């Protein structure tokens, strides 16, 4: 019986069916922020797949392309979600659980590497912040 058919017969979603694989991948994440973001993305992706009766480890490029086009948000947000999924499929490949990383085959949004919405210090603010430490010889 195929994995997709077994899931349908048993009424089990991707997060339950592939829970051990997802958990092992999550353990490999070293940043709590990354773990939260990746977990949220994986939960959403598994729900999207479940609604289509598709299996997490049998995702094709056209299917993933459909998911990518369903994503809302800024290009950086979409790219971050694709990065999370790509991380999962790289893990699955390394564990011989997948034959390919379908995320590598879809078009990613263009993200300006020189632009960030994160507020930072101006050059003058950074100099003012460092001045007391430099005055102390640090």
Taking CA 31 as the corner, what is the angle to CA 25 and CA 37, rounded to the nearest 5 degrees? 70
Position 115 confidence tier, pLDDT thresholds 50, 70, 90: low
Q: What is the mean pLDDT of the chain?
A: 84
Summarised one tens digit per residue, pLDDT across range 3-20 is 444 444 445 566 677 778
Neighbours of 132 (CB within 10 A): 9
Is the pTM for the entire model greater than 0.75? no
Q: Span 99-112, mean pLDDT?
A: 86
């Amino acid at each position: 019986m195929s994995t997709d058919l077994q899931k349908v017969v048993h009424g089990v979603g991707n997060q339950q069916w592939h829970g051990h694989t997802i958990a092992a991948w999550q353990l490999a994440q070293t940043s709590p922020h990354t773990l939260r973001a990746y977990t949220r993305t994986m939960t959403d992706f598994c729900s999207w797949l479940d609604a289509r009766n598709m299996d997490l480890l049998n995702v094709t490029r056209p299917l993933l392309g459909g998911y990518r086009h369903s994503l809302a948000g800024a290009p950086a947000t979409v790219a971050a979600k694709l990065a999370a999924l790509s991380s999962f499929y790289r893990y699955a490949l390394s564990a011989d659980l997948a034959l390919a990383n379908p995320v590598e085959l879809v078009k990613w949004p263009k993200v300006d590497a020189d632009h960030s919405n994160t507020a930072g210090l101006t050059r003058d603010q950074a100099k003012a912040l460092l001045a007391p430490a430099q005055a102390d010889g640090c």
